[in-house]
Amino acid sequence: MLEGILIGVGSALSVTNILMVIGGCLIGTFIGMLPGLGPMSIIAIMIPVAITIGDPSAALILLAGVYYGAIFGGSTSSILINAPGVASTVATSFDGYPLTRQGKAGKALTVAAISSFVGGTVGAILLMIFAPMLASVALLFHSAEYFALMVVGLSAIAAFAGTGQVGKAMLMTLLGLIMATVGEGALFNMPRFTMGVMDLQSGFGFITLAMAMFALPEAIFLILDPNRSKTGSSNEIKDLRITKEEAKSIAPVIGRQSIQGFLVGVLPGAGATIASFLGYAVERNIASKEEQDKFGKGSVKGLAAPEAANNAACTGSFVPLLTLGIPGSGTTAILLGALIALNVTPGPRLMVDDPQIFWAVIISMYIGNVILLILNLPLIPYIAKVLAVPRNYLIPFILFFTLMGAYIGQNNATELLILVGFGVCATILRFADYPLAPLLIGFILGRMLEDNFARSMQLYDGFSFVLERPMTMGLLVLAAILVVLPSYRARRARLRAEGTADGD
Amino acid sequence: MALDRWIALIILIICSIYGYTAFFTMDAGLPPFMQRNPMWPSTFPKVLSVLAIITSLIVLLGLEKGNGEEKAPEINYRRLTDYKLGQALMLLGLMVAYALFLRPAGFLISTTVFLVAGAAILGERKMHILIPVGLVAAGSIWYLVQEVLGIFLRPWPFFMIGGA
């Protein structure tokens, strides 16, 4: 491991890569602050840039920096104007915005920055410990287990969608898998479901789809509802210091939530949003009575908890991506797509084949966290000026960057029409409360899922691999349980509420 | 019927067509040597179409019940006309126009027009600020993409090729 760390330090500390981290963090903070652009949209927009860099570690470092920056920027806009740019910072606004209204915006930003820093750093340390362990276990996996593992990952994503939503999330996942079968598969050299359209021969473009699923609907929502981008009067930000007592009271909160957030982030489908809400809820429950009353009215603990948790969770979500090659969230799914475009296949072999990529990314996470703390915190009053960009200018630019992202990758104007078409479909799906991240994850995993499935089918000459490999069987059973359990529990709760005896 | 169930119905129809293709028409052109393979190009789509049809039926028939509490939707689609629907549709139209004109009109002209027209649709009237902003943005983005990233973007209209 030490050897790996040294490789990582050597590669991450090159001038280019440090510039990548700085640039990524700044861009991420900048755009993440804008209402309506979350980490997924920003990363999707940055992918063409990252791909043209060519060097996979530099590209991944840039994208990871953007990811952190976006989360940090999102919390800034939650604190200052109560407009979370990102779902995972909604919990931050519960206590952050009240602090701003009390005139303590500077303090709130400092608490958020410190919590994010610790959360991210602890996450990176845990990642460094867990990822190699998990990767060495994963090396024992064959294609049959990979297939089963991906099924588990996809069902977990559907299962975490919440009550009444599992069916919809599963449907979206399946739709993503179906969309992945369009075009020419590597396995058969035979176009499928192209309906004779030449432009579909190579399948749907992944960046186009990512833009259409996230950036475009968000922009359309901004147009439809002007209140979403309402930027209040920017408050004067002064006095960034926090007192010793406050530091003492938030230290244990940050510690607990960093670890808890990391563990939540590792779970597929959970991610930073759930981690931040869970962190907030847990801390409120274990706080003393008088502190509990302060939650929601500007408690520093209530601000520190979600911030530490969401940053740790972001780091945690890299574990399944880097070790198993399975993304647990929409954002990591987009990163996976970018890696594949750069000719890197994440998975347990990554640590063996390309250790410099793996370790450089981890080391750059530390650097990214330090940069967010020392560079962005003093700059925040100036960066916050971006919130004053008028909506009339902002929206055409968001739309334009969405179009450019899809165009640059393919240099094909048909791609833009597909983008608009899918964007409209995605907006309608969002109206009806269908989750869109599962669709993209399904789309990205679809081809790998089919390849692994095909390989096991060929090795075992049929479906018998499911029965002959206990681990595959176990994983598939787990996937089935994950899908069925939420609706079973909901049904039981309903029966109990109706007063029907349920036997136990 | 609520919008989400209409969507489920549409997905059901799409999946049925997809499934029909996978089950009945795709294998016709399969060469004999591939037929001995346990995995056909249609195998995976067959599995997917069956699962997707079942799931869309579950959503369509409302078999899975939520916990009863309605989340406040971000945008209430039943009152879509209360929102800036006209602006949204016009901007979407503008995006389509951009897609069609990008090649023939060249990057610089189409981008400037897109940015200016987009802001104008949203109600911006200060043309003396808007047009310079559009021009500078289009120019600097073209420079970034072309020179820094090294991706070719045709800057000028089709009749000026080579005239740059």
| Total number of domains constituting chain A | 1
Ranking A182-191, A437-446, B82-91 by mean pLDDT, the lowest is A182-191
Instruction: List, for residues A327-341, the tens digit of each pLDDT value.
Output: 877 788 888 888 888
Q: Do residues B150 and B95 share a domain?
A: yes
The reply to whether A503 falls in a domain is no
The contacts of residue B97 (CB under 8 Å, 6+ apart) are none
Mark which of B68, B94, B124 sits at the end of a domain. Answer: B68
Higher confidence at residue A86 or residue A220?
A: A220
The reply to whether A446 falls in a domain is yes
A166 has a pLDDT exceeding 60: yes
- With CB atoms and an 8 Å threshold, state whether A457 touches B122: no
Is residue A438 within 8 Å of residue A176, measured between CB atoms? yes
- With CB atoms and an 8 Å threshold, state whether B83 touches A224: yes
Chain B nearest-CA distance from A266, in A, is 27
Write down the residue that tokens 């869970």 correspond to.
A278
The model carries a pTM of 0.78
The reply to whether A141 falls in a domain is yes
Q: How many CB atoms lie within 10 A of CB A474?
A: 13
- The angle, 0 to 180 degrees and rounded to 10, between the axes of the packed helices A391-410 and A413-431 is 130
Domain region containing B93: 84-160
| Cβ contacts of A418 on chain B, cutoff 8 Å | none
A92 has a pLDDT exceeding 60: yes
pLDDT at A249: 83
The reply to whether A502 falls in a domain is no
The reply to whether B42 falls in a domain is yes
| Total number of domains constituting chain B | 2
Is residue B141 within 8 Å of residue A407, measured between CB atoms? no
Q: Do residues B51 and B100 share a domain?
A: no
Q: Do residues B44 and B99 share a domain?
A: no
A163 has a pLDDT exceeding 80: no
A503 has a pLDDT exceeding 50: no
Give percent of chain A above pLDDT 70.
89
Give percent of chain A above pLDDT 90.
3
| Cβ contacts of B99 on chain A, cutoff 8 Å | 403, 413-414, 416-417, 419-420
Residue A287 token pair:
């706080």
Q: What is the ipTM of this complex?
A: 0.87
Mark which of B25, B41, B68 sits at the end of a domain. Answer: B68
- With CB atoms and an 8 Å threshold, state whether B59 touches A168: yes
| Cβ contacts of B49 on chain A, cutoff 8 Å | 178
Q: Do residues B52 and B119 share a domain?
A: no
A345 has a pLDDT exceeding 60: yes
Chain A nearest-CA distance from B10, in A, is 11
- With CB atoms and an 8 Å threshold, state whether A221 touches B75: yes
Q: Do residues B64 and B88 share a domain?
A: no
The reply to whether B56 falls in a domain is yes
In a mutagenesis test of the B interface, which of A45, A166, A177, A178 is the best target, namely the one with the most B β-carbons within 10 Å?
Answer: A178
**What number is the average pLDDT over the span A360-364?**
82
How would residue A218 be classed by pLDDT, with cut points 50, 70 and 90? Answer: confident
Chains A and B form CB pairs within 8 A to the count of: 184
Mark which of B13, B35, B68 sits at the end of a domain. Answer: B68
How would residue A295 be classed by pLDDT, with cut points 50, 70 and 90? Answer: confident
pLDDT at A504: 47
Chain B nearest-CA distance from A35, in A, is 14
Chain A nearest-CA distance from B138, in A, is 10
pLDDT at B66: 58
pLDDT at A424: 93
pLDDT at A233: 47
pLDDT at B163: 45
Higher confidence at residue A201 or residue A128?
A: A128
The reply to whether A504 falls in a domain is no
How far is the CA of A12 from the CAs of A6, A19, A60, A65, A482, in angstroms? 10, 10, 11, 12, 39
Domain region containing A126: 2-496
Q: Do residues B60 and B92 share a domain?
A: no
Instruction: List, for residues A232-256, the tens digit of each pLDDT value.
Output: 444 556 666 777 788 888 888 899 8
Computed over every residue of chain A, the mean pLDDT equals 80
Q: How many residues does chain B have?
A: 164
Per-residue pLDDT tens digits of chain B, which is 164 residues long:
678 888 899 999 999 999 998 888 877 777 777 777 777 788 888 889 999 999 999 888 887 765 554 555 566 777 777 778 888 889 999 999 998 888 888 888 888 999 999 988 888 788 888 888 889 988 888 887 777 666 677 777 777 665 44
Ranking A166-175, A231-240, A297-306, A470-479 by mean pLDDT, the lowest is A231-240
Alpha helix segments (H runs only) across A190-229: 206-210, 216-224
The reply to whether B75 falls in a domain is no
The reply to whether B140 falls in a domain is yes
Higher confidence at residue A492 or residue B19?
A: B19
- With CB atoms and an 8 Å threshold, state whether B91 touches A399: yes
The reply to whether B76 falls in a domain is no
- With CB atoms and an 8 Å threshold, state whether B74 touches A430: yes
Higher confidence at residue A78 or residue A119?
A: A119
The reply to whether A277 falls in a domain is yes
The reply to whether B147 falls in a domain is yes
A501 has a pLDDT exceeding 60: no
